[in-house]
Structures are given as C-alpha cells and as structure tokens.
Structure 1
C-alpha cells in the first residue's frame, strides 16, 4: 500500500501515527500523585533570627497535612526585615506567615492583608488577632502587633486553618555566640 496517494492512504497513515502515540502513552510511566514542592525553612528561620534584634517567630511544628512550599527573607526600607513562610494547607488552600519589624506596623499589616479594614478579632491561644478580609481576592488575614514585631497569617485558607497556623507559632530563642 502506498501512503502517498488518496484519502484512504492518508487516513491509514494518520491512524498509524496515532497508534504509535497511543503505545508511547501506555508504556510511559505516569504519576497520579499530587506534587507539591516541599521547601524546608529551618535555615531561613535561623538566619532571620540572627539578623533581627528580637526573637523571631516560627511554627513550633507544621500543622498536620500541611506542606511548607516557600520561604524567604526580604529587606525593606529603614533596615526593616521580613520573613515569609508559605504553605499548602491540608485542604490545599494557600496560607502564609509573615513577620517584620517594619514601622509603622499598621502600614506593613495593611500591605500584607491588602486591606486596612478589620472585620473582628479571633482569639488564638488566648491572644487577640485582628481579622481582615478582602472579598475580591478571597484573602483572609490575621494580624497580631507586638511591641517589636508584627505577625501576619494570611491566604486563601479558611479562618480555622489560619488560626491553626497562628496557634502553631512560637518565639525562637536567640542563638548565643
């Protein structure tokens, strides 16, 4: 059979190519598992703790089923530093913990929350956290302002998940050199 003339020959050539692709797809290993990159943050927290004049905050343990997937330290104006820890939650929403000594604290919190409007408070481990919500971004935020640092937990995660991350936070002891 010549595959260079006529519609039937053309159709046969196309089917032969598709059969080859089908065999290739059948024998190629495929993963059906979810792939979320895991990014360890302990070195980032230790470095941040050495760079700032206060005790850094970080999760004492990751909430069950959560995957830490990003972390970084950023320098801002006036020497302020910020640390960002991102997570995929157990429900596969996004949550992020950010802390900074930037002043004014309200400006930093407003930028991280994408909102200056409070929608109430949430008690986490007996401490009040300011709640903020930005509907158009589906972003919920918890803010706690301390004398030397502002703590922000934000993301598309629901309120209970954000509170779970906030509850996991604790001060890290300063390294003695």
Structure 2
C-alpha cells in the first residue's frame, strides 16, 4: 500500500484521480450554449414615473424588433428632478439607453447622459430634429432632444441607425393622475 503513496507512482495516481474528477465534472455540468440576456418589463416603471412627474412621459410604443429591454429604473436627478432610465440590448447586441428628465438646466442633464457637451451634427427622426453627440474614447453615440418640459436622450454603444430606431419609436403617454 505504501508504494502508491510514495514517489512517482503516487504522484501519477493522484494526478489521474484529479483529472478523472475534472473530466467527470465537465461532462456532467450543464453547459448553456445559448445567449441569455435577462428581460425586464419596464411598463410598471414608466407608469410609476408618470405618476411622479408633472409632464407627459415618453416611452417606446413597442420594443424594436430583436431588442431586449434589460434594465429600467427611476433615479433622483439634480435639483430634485426625477430621471427615468430604460436600457436595451439591441438586435446587434450593443447597448442602448433611453433617459428623460425635466432637470434644469436641460443642457447639464444632456451633457451628463452623453458624457459630452459637443454636438457633431443633427439628425431628422420622425420629422423631429435630434442633436447628435459622439464620445470616441467610450464609443458612445447620443441623440438629444430638448423640449420645453422634458429632455429626451437616447445613448449607447449602438450605431446611429439603431439609436434612431429607438428614438423613432418614442411617443408621449397620456398623463395619468
């Protein structure tokens, strides 16, 4: 019995037992081959946000085809303003986020969401003009639309057409009391 615990043979047996255990674990353990992005319904968050703010809230009338809504929250912005965030994994599996707030000054909110204060042009989406911003070091593209009562921001690593698709689906929800 002692010869299996000493020297090269003992080492070889221990190594074989460890490798056999590792192989058994790999063969038995479930292996997911499919992508899993958690889906988070944002309808209740949008409804709650609508109750808390004095203006008509914007939200997508539907999710863009192939997109997965994967985060949503309401946060406290500056000067007591509420901010609604809706996050998505796009069809190309990039990130896109829609944010809105009545935070003033509106430019500060837009700058913070875009991580930039520099416009790189404009884009017409659904007959409305959106300001484009781009921050190269973060690969972040942003569309900004400042309205009298709210600022809308669509931002992320998604390309311009995907961001425009989300912006084009935004519509005002009826105000609820």
TM-score with structure 2 length normalisation? 0.96
Partner residue in 1 for 2:28? 27
TM-score with structure 1 length normalisation? 0.96
Equivalent positions of 1:1-177 (< 5 A) are 2-176=3-177
Residue 54 of structure 1: how far off its partner (Å): 0.6
State the SS of the aligned residue for 1:153.
Answer: strand
Residue 76 of structure 1: how far off its partner (Å): 2.2
Per-residue displacement from partner, 1:63-87 (whole Å, max 9, x unpaired)? 0111111111112232211100001
Rounded to whole Å, the distance in 2 between the matches of 1:59 and 1:47 is: 16
RMSD (CA atoms): 1.1
Unaligned 5+ segments in structure 2 are: none
Residue 24 of structure 1: how far off its partner (Å): 2.1
Residue 117 of structure 1: how far off its partner (Å): 0.7
Residue 15 of structure 1: how far off its partner (Å): 1.4
Rounded to whole Å, the distance in 2 between the matches of 1:85 and 1:60 is: 13
Residue 30 of structure 1: how far off its partner (Å): 1.4
State the SS of the aligned residue for 2:4.
Answer: coil
Residue 130 of structure 1: how far off its partner (Å): 0.0
Asked if the contact 1:120/1:130 (under 8 Å) is kept, the reply is yes
Rounded to whole Å, the distance in 1 between the matches of 2:60 and 2:78 is: 26
Between stretches 137-146 and 20-29, larger displacement belongs to: 20-29
Rounded to whole Å, the distance in 2 between the matches of 1:29 and 1:108 is: 45
Rounded to whole Å, the distance in 1 between the matches of 2:76 and 2:22 is: 51
Question: How many equivalent pairs are there?
Answer: 176
State the SS of the aligned residue for 2:75.
Answer: strand
Rounded to whole Å, the distance in 2 between the matches of 1:89 and 1:104 is: 30
